[in-house]
């Protein structure tokens, strides 16, 4: 899907309408260095603009989704370097640039920034034995890519506080029970199959409706309930202006499969 050659990523299209972005920095357990994040942002920008792609799967290896921000890169940073270069801010492009749904398929370590990257996904799938955690406290620092906010919203204050203050790891099994992960799978193979099947299902729907659905669900994280419900209704009303709403409802009446125009 993307002609660009990446050093730290593999980008493929294993199913119709699906892009798979695989973090590939095996010698550092996919530690998220600035060059890796720059490539990730470039690939997501490309995927976002690619009309043939409807959904993205972001994954790592069986051993590591990502073991965090690159500690060797961070160690010598000064406050003014971190502040003036807005260190870590570019990671948020995953949540701002990409209008298409992104499923994180997490196997192995998802620690620190790796856990935070997974938490930025629209849907999180993992293996039951995946190893999540926010161990920054052990390095004399704190989460810096949204962990204290997204993990707390996902699992509540007391649990998040315990994990962030102790650095204790939690399993994929716990992640599923707490609702951080939508599903956990017994093996890496089952995880990838599950993630790609869900991505293919999503990619088979109207792009306009899928993007609108992602947008309104995300708004629920920022808006009060009354404002959120009103926002949803506005976007719902606006979809009566799309071709695909007419196509989808006509196909239902005619007992046919809809052929989406994606408009
Ligand atoms: N940054 C840089 N390099 C890393 C790394 C990281 N986050 N995690 C692992 N690596 C490197 C190791 O240094 C090692 O490289 P060398 O062979 O050159 O020494 C290689 O990856 C393999 O790692 P290990 O030998 O440690 O592998 P292991 O299987 O024994 O242990 C592990 C695995 C438990 C994940 C361990 O590597 C570890 O604890 N990693 C650090 C996890 C961490 O603290 N992450 C949080 C980072 S801070 C952060 O992310 C800030 C933020 O909020 C944005």
Nearest CA to ligand 1 atom 15: 28
What sections of the chain are H helices per DSSP? Answer: 34-48, 71-74, 79-84, 93-96, 113-120, 147-155, 157-166, 172-178, 188-203, 207-219, 225-238, 243-253
68 CA closest ligand 1 atom index: 50
**Catalytic annotation present for 193:** no
The interface pTM score, or ipTM, of the predicted complex is: 0.97
135 CA closest ligand 1 atom index: 44
* Topology match between the domains 9-203 and 207-253: no
The residues facing 125 across adjacent strands are: 105, 183
**What DSSP character marks residue 138?**
G
Residue in 64, 114, 136, 175 annotated catalytic: 136
Give me the pLDDT at residue 4, please: 75
Range 217-234 average pLDDT: 97
pLDDT in tens, 119-141: 999 999 999 999 999 999 999 99
Range 150-162 average pLDDT: 97
**Catalytic annotation present for 189:** no
**Catalytic annotation present for 67:** no
DSSP 92-130: GHHHHT--S-EEEEE-SEEETHHHHHHHHSSEEEEETT-
Q: Where are the domains of the chain?
A: 9-203, 207-253
pLDDT in tens, 172-214: 999 999 999 999 999 999 999 999 999 999 999 999 999 999 9
147 CA closest ligand 1 atom index: 53
State whether CATH 3.30.1330.180 applies to domain 9-203.
no
Contacts of 52 (CB under 8 A, 6+ apart): 1, 13, 17
- The ligand 1 site (C-beta within 6 Å) comprises 28-29, 31, 67-72, 88, 109, 111-113, 116, 135-136, 139, 143-145, 147
pLDDT in tens, 50-87: 999 999 999 999 999 999 999 999 999 999 999 999 99
Distance 228 CA to ligand 1 centre (A): 40
pTM comes to: 0.97
Distance 6 CA to ligand 1 centre (A): 22
Tell me if 131 sits within 8 A of 167, measured CB to CB. no
CATH class of 207-253: mainly alpha
Contacts of 240 (CB under 8 A, 6+ apart): none
Distance 94 CA to ligand 1 centre (A): 22
């Amino acid at each position: 899907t993307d002609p660009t050659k990446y050093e730290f990523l593999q980008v493929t299209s294993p199913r119709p309408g699906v892009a798979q972005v695989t973090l590939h920095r095996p010698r550092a357990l996919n530690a998220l260095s600035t060059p890796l994040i720059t490539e990730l942002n470039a690939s997501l920008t490309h995927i976002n603009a690619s009309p043939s792609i409807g959904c993205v799967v972001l994954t790592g290896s069986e051993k590591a989704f990502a073991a965090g921000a690159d500690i060797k890169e961070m160690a010598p940073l000064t406050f003014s370097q971190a502040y003036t270069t807005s260190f870590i801010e570019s990671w948020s492009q995953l949540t701002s640039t990409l209008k298409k749904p992104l499923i994180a398929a997490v196997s192995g370590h998802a620690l620190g920034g790796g856990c935070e990257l997974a938490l930025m996904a629209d849907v999180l799938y993992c293996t039951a034995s995946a190893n999540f955690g926010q161990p920054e406290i052990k390095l004399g620092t704190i989460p810096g890519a949204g962990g204290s906010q997204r993990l707390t919203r996902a699992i509540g204050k007391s649990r998040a506080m315990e994990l962030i203050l102790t650095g204790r790891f939690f399993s994929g099994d716990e992640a599923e029970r707490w609702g951080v992960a939508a599903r956990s799978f017994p093996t890496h193979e089952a995880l990838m199959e599950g993630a790609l099947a869900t991505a293919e299902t999503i990619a088979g729907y109207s792009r306009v409706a899928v993007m609108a659905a992602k947008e309104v669900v995300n708004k629920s994280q920022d808006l009060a309930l009354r404002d959120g419900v009103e926002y949803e209704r506005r976007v719902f009303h606006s979809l009566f202006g799309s071709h695909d709403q007419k196509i989808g409802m006509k196909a239902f009446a005619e007992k046919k499969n809809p052929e989406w125009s994606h408009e």
